Structure 1
Amino acid sequence: MPRPSLSKNASQRRGKTLAKKTVSKAASTVKAVQNTVKQVKEAVQYSEMSGLNPLGVESVQEELPSFQPADYRVKDPLNPPDSLPQVSLGEFVKASRIYEGATRAVQLTGKAFDLTRERLLVEGKKAKTFSAGVQAATAYEKVKSDLANYQTQLQGTKQSEIALGVAKLQTTTAQAIAEQTEKELSEKLAQAQSGAELAALQTQEKQSKLAEFKLLLTPQV
């Protein structure tokens, strides 16, 4: 059986390694593109939400006015070329007035933003103060609720004490009535006993008188 060629195996290994590197590089490129697209989408969404223009280092150049230094290059100071950019005195005055007016306008716009910033700061403080007031009112209402619960419990306790006092008075009254009734019954019993004894004495007296009367009626022998 023929042995595999070493050079062929090495070539295959190099091919596989190169393919892996190519795939890895392509994946990195795709990922970088995806990240860039994501950042662009986020910037657009933020711009739409805040109304601000996204500004990055790469876009600063676009914000600068057009200026070509080579157009103003002079080799001979005593013999300037006719190709130098030029404006007439009237154009200079007119443009200067426009720039001065625009500068004043943008400065006023900046002052408007300064005022708006301060107003928003005050609005934020107002909101925080209102929130503190709401929290204080909530705490106050909680105290009122606790006080109402206390008063309710206090009235319930007083009512229970009144009911207890009435019950005690009823018990005392019933006990006093029972004692008086017992005394009255005892007196009636004593009176009945005295009446019975008196009746017995009267009976004995009448019987004695009857016996004496009978003796008087009996003839003497």
Structure 2
Amino acid sequence: MNNISETVHAYSKKASELNEVIVRMVFDSYGVDKYESHNESTNYLLRLLKYGEPTENETEVGLPPHEEMSFITILCQNHVDGLEIKTKDGDWIGFELTPPSSFIVMAGDALTVWSNDRVRACTHRVVMSEKATRYTAVLFSFSSKILHVPEKLIDQQHPLKYKLFDHMDYVDYFFSKHIGPRPGCRYKSYKLFDHHLQIKDF
């Protein structure tokens, strides 16, 4: 058991270091500094997931289309594929990890808000059709600070769309407090609810 815990901890540490590098690349690409402050306020959640093979009465199983509520999500899997990404045109494309040690990096809802809609959260699903079990290790990153759109990401082509965004309150609301069907776009629907801090369109 200790060996498993040590392995998971070691993987989490390396994956979080990769997340920090990715955040720095994103901030630098937009000419925004303070990525160190963002990384210092980042919390992580690691989930180990198992997708079983379809039974005799099932043609396919998996996970329905969704976006992550994280800032960034980093995914690593075994040799069994199943992840599909939705393109801007609405098509679904299968994603293969080659070699198996590769990673998938996906933008989450919070990155969409922070970037003022410049980076869109990745819509994806899992479709399991082959007779094999898929294992994945998924690292989610969340900001413990109140996010706001940097001034450099606001211009005539990209007017300010969001005010303050309490990332952890957003996650807590949709995990434990939201009642009813899942909104089509969570981060845009979040502004409609009665919160101390919320996303607000101008």
TM-score of the superposition, structure 1-length normalised?
0.19
- Name the larger-Rg structure: 1
Instruction: Name the structure with the higher strand share.
Output: 2
Instruction: Name the structure with the higher helix share.
Output: 1
Higher RCO (CA 8 Å, separation ≥ 6 residues) = 2
TM-score of the superposition, structure 2-length normalised?
0.20
